[in-house]
């Protein structure tokens, strides 16, 4: 074999080894995600560390979303909590206050206050519940439906514009992760007896007796007894 042939074979072997090393590095990187927000991260982050990163972001994200929603609602008289209430009614249809509390995963008292205030604004009304004489169904008025529809159309436009870089698959994965976190923490909260509460809701007291004790006038029913209005909300939701 000539010297030239030996050189050619050596060069080919070197190229093959380099390509194989590059393929191995790419495969390792794809299989072991690194937390993109970890300072000086030199290797793959364990799944539990990534989960902690998600959890740490949830509370600040929630507060930021609340502030953004309150800003959008400026001039409507509504709070972010009442936005969630109207959204639940638009999505689920007429519901009792206890049912709304379960949907929102909150105690009944803050939901009752939101219902009372939304009723004062003419956004919801209590209707007779054929399944339970003492527990009224809360439903959107035409004004309430128009208001929440307009707010959500604006929000949808802003989300589409601001988050256009996210694919549907990425959003679906985020939803799956959040759903699993919710399942696990609901289990932990139930096991420890921790009640789900929403800090900073409008007012400082709620009703604890009759499920229809809000004093909201039912459509199609005589309810002439007035009750004190809910405590006024102060500032931004929860602040």
The tens place of each residue's pLDDT in the chain, 239 residues long, gives 554 444 445 455 444 444 444 454 444 444 444 445 555 555 667 888 888 899 999 989 999 999 999 998 998 899 999 999 999 999 999 999 999 999 999 999 999 999 999 999 999 999 999 888 888 999 999 999 999 999 999 999 999 999 999 999 999 999 999 999 999 998 888 875 444 444 333 333 334 444 444 456 454 444 333 333 333 333 333 33
Element (H, E) at 219: strand 218-219
Q: State both tokens at 121.
A: 């604004």
Helix (H, G, I), strand (E, B) or coil at 129: coil
For each of the domains in the chain, give its residue range(s) and CATH number, in order of start. Answer: 73-219 (1.10.10.10)
Q: What is the pLDDT of residue 208?
A: 40
Long-range own/partner contacts, residues 101-110 (CB < 8 A, 24 or more apart)? 105/186, 105/196, 106/196, 106/197, 106/198, 107/195, 107/196, 107/197, 107/198, 107/206, 108/206, 109/205, 109/206, 109/207, 109/208, 110/81, 110/197, 110/198, 110/201, 110/202, 110/206
Q: Mention every residue, 6+ apart, whose C-beta is less than 8 A from residue 49.
A: 35, 38
Quote the pTM value: 0.60
Q: Identify whether the C-beta of residue 56 lies closer than 8 Å to the C-beta of residue 38.
A: no
What pLDDT does 220 receive?
A: 45
How many residues belong to the chain?
239
How many Cα atoms occupy the beta-carbon half-sphere of 151 within 13 Å? 24
The continuous run of DSSP H or E covering 140 comes out as: strand 137-140
């Amino acid at each position: 074999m000539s010297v030239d042939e030996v050189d050619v074979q050596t060069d080919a072997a070197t190229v093959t080894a380099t390509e194989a090393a590059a393929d191995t590095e790419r495969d390792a990187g794809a299989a072991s995600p690194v937390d993109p927000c970890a300072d000086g991260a030199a290797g793959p982050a364990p799944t539990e560390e990534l989960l902690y990163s998600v959890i740490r972001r949830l509370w600040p994200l929630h507060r930021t979303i609340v502030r953004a929603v309150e800003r959008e609602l400026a001039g409507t008289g509504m709070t972010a909590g009442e936005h969630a209430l109207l959204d639940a009614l638009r999505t689920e249809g007429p519901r009792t206050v206890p049912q709304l509390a379960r949907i929102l995963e909150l105690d009944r008292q803050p939901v009752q206050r939101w219902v009372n205030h939304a009723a004062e604004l003419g956004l919801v009304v209590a209707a007779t519940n054929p399944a339970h004489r003492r527990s009224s169904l809360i439903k959107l008025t035409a004004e309430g439906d128009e208001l929440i529809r307009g707010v959500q159309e604006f929000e949808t436009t802003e989300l589409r514009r601001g988050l256009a870089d996210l694919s549907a698959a990425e959003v679906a994965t985020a939803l799956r992760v959040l759903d699993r976190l919710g399942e696990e923490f609901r289990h932990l909260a139930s096991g420890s007896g921790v009640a789900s509460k929403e800090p900073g809701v409008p007012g400082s007291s709620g009703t604890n007796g009759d499920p229809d004790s809000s004093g909201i006038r039912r459509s199609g029913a005589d309810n002439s007894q007035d009750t004190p209005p809910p405590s006024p909300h102060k500032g931004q939701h929860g602040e």
